[in-house]
Amino acid sequence: MSESAASPPRGAAQVLSLPVEGMTCASCVLRVEKTLKKTDGVLQASVNLATNRALIEIDPTVASLEQLREAVADAGYALVLPARADESADDVSAAQEAREQAASATLRREFIFAAAVTAPVMALSMLMMLDAFRAAWPMAMDETNRLLLVLTAPVLFISGKRFFVGFWKGLAHLTADMNTLVAVGTGAAFIYSTVATLFPSALGLHAAHADVYFDTSATIITLILMGRLLESRAKSRASGAIRALAQLQPPTARVLRFGNEMDIPAREVVTGDLVIIRPGERIPVDGLVTKGETSVDESLVTGESLPVEKREGDRVIGGTINAHGSLELRATAVGKDTVLAQIVRLVEQAQGSKAPVQKLADRIASVFVPVVIGIALLTFAVCFFFTDIGATASMIRMIAVLIIACPCALGLATPAAIMVGVGVGAEKGILIRNAEALERAHRITVVVLDKTGTLTEGTPSVTDVIAMDGTDPDRLVALAAAAERGSEHPLARAVLAEAKRRGVDVPAADSFRALPGLGVIATAGDDSIVAGNTTILSEFAIHAALPSEADALSADGKTLIHIALNGAYAGSIAIADRLRPSSAAAVEALRALGCEVVMLSGDNEATANAIARSAGITRVYAQVLPEQKAERVRELQADGSVVAMVGDGVNDAPALAQADVGIAMASGTDVAMESADITLMRSDPAGIAQALRLSARTIAKIRQNLFWAFFYNVIGIPLAALGLLNPMIAAAAMAFSSVSVVTNALLLKRFK
């Protein structure tokens, strides 16, 4: 949605995910969506039939929750707001699950009642066709029809009440949906049969020979309720990822306060609290280990199958399991700020978003029900006026058209697959921001990989120190560490670690400035320090003939930080960042998917090429500044390539944003990667191919679902209009279509 000049900045927008009650088909989804988009202050809205939720982006200074609720209510549906202002995401999810369970229980009771009453109606109607049974049956035909009327009425108006109430609401708003088709179809059969039973002469019939269709009305209602019940259960399985993630948060936490251990609700833990974790317990909050050593099972959050060793100073994620040792940690994030809460929000929002492939289904759904009603009326008119089959047979064909054409499958085809695909991704440590990214990912032709932290482990260490004549190596390391102390770059941390290992005193820097892609400049006491690549030396007119050792180290794939002291080259520090064990296999897996693999690096060509050779990459761009990475991506796109950029989500933000799909390699402790479409919770490049395969599988399921939804109607409606489809068979087929779409989507759970 485009924003006008008066629109608030995007940072001021608020994204809400709220349950919507009363939706039954694709037409309902579109009506709620259009209503929300027309509401003042709504920047964007996406409504999902599979999750029964609306994802709404609003300007909170213009739109209020109450205004949204009233707008949706005016359209005939219910937008469920949080019970209180401070209600947590867990509370909202629990409340929605409770409502869904209650609705499912009600649906189950209605189906059981309808089935129990429909069985004798159906049996009696069929047996009355047999001469032998009619001779033994104590009631006359007109009396039997009255009995069938008495039995069928509760099925329609107790178990089937929801359809007629929905039809009436739609009529009041001059709209039509699935309820309209079911209510008109079953209502027409029931009204005709009632008149034929009570006032046969009005139809020119004799009471003893009037054909009635009470069994048709009752059976249609029962079969549709059965389909709804099966669909509800299938959708519950499809949305299991959210519930599984939410349940990872333990309800209580053991904290150390005033020198005593006490158990409190996890939501009452505050940042800075000391939390005690015993062996086998689930960690309640994000934190830093302050005491103890253990291994932590992070598989359900990051997808990492092996336990991760943790010791003092390491980060831990709430929801993970402490394997064996006792831990004390200081809470750094609680409640909605934890990694787990961020994951739940990302998954929930992604499941509620729409893929571009849904647009065709939306366009059809917007006119589907009125067109079907038109076809049904046309079927009746043609059959009644231009054939000799009579009013009764014409009505039956009209009813069959109405029932077979329910748009449920059309509405569920895409969102069911998206919901399962996103959920499966989350279980495997692949967080997908929205359905659009999921759809684009399967079309990727070029994958651009950042070197540091993506192909390599991102934790480099100093391997060699080259000091020029007259320069003490320890002093060189100390001054380099002084200059790098203010930098967050992994190479800077390696220099600081080397200074600590050597036990040298690192002077405080009086000034510091980082030059992205080049290095740093600083002053420490009487010394001015320049540290970085060869380009930064040229920038400051420092002319140095690098020793042959430096060239040899670069050829081995090591990164060199060149240091100039007081305007003269003083030496170099060699740092090696090892290739991840899975990098070469990951590159090969991407090639197997038909993708070209490109590496970008800010390092010199020798270092970049050495790493690329080890990973099996032949196309390399070296000495690329952060802003130039985005330009390289644009160049690839200009050639017609569909580009995925894989980086750390911070330094590579411009390139991630420029790419068709941005993939961020997370550490498992920061998932708020605003520039990335997909975040890999494990820092393992093998996840890239896995994400692309998941995208391809999900899109395949969407296409299968859409094909069968369209094919079902394209075949079913003509058959019904030609009288080749009994209304009861049409009802069974309609119920099966919705269940089959969700069941087909659930097959994605087999993805490995």
DSSP assigned state of 267: G
Is residue 519 within 8 Å of residue 508, measured between CB atoms? Answer: no
CA distance 738 to 741: 5
Which amino acid type is present at position 143? E
For 685, list phi and psi in degrees, rounded to 5: -65, -15
**Which residues have C-beta within 8 Å of that of residue 491, sequence separation ≥ 6?**
460, 484, 559, 561, 575
Pick the catalytic residue from 450, 577, 652, 684: 450
Is residue 362 within 8 Å of residue 30, measured between CB atoms? Answer: yes
Which amino acid type is present at position 550? A
**Helices and strands in the chain: count of H runs, count of E runs:** 25, 26
Q: Determine if residue 668 is left, alpha or beta; phi over 0 gives left, psi from -120 to 50 gives alpha, anything else beta.
A: left
Please state whether beta strands 446-450 and 643-647 pair in parallel, antiparallel, or not at all (unpaired).
parallel
Instruction: Give which of 493, 532, 486 is closest to 509, Cα–Cα.
Output: 486
CB neighbourhood size of 189 (10 A): 26
Active site (annotated) includes residue 450? yes
CA distance 538 to 168: 78
CA distance 240 to 677: 22
Instruction: Give which of 693, 727, 460 is closest to 577, Cα–Cα.
Output: 460
Which amino acid type is present at position 683? S
Residue with tokens 């896995």: 690
Is residue 287 within 8 Å of residue 331, measured between CB atoms? Answer: yes
Is residue 159 within 8 Å of residue 114, measured between CB atoms? Answer: yes
H-type alpha helices, 435-566 = 435-441, 473-484, 490-502, 534-539, 548-555
- 3-state SS class at 275: strand
For 7, list phi and psi in degrees, rounded to 5: -70, 150
Which amino acid type is present at position 49? L
Give the 3-state secondary structure of 277-322. ECCCCECCCEEEEEECCEEEECHHHHCCCCCEEECCCCEECCCCEE
Is residue 58 within 8 Å of residue 42, measured between CB atoms? Answer: yes
Active-site residue numbers? 450
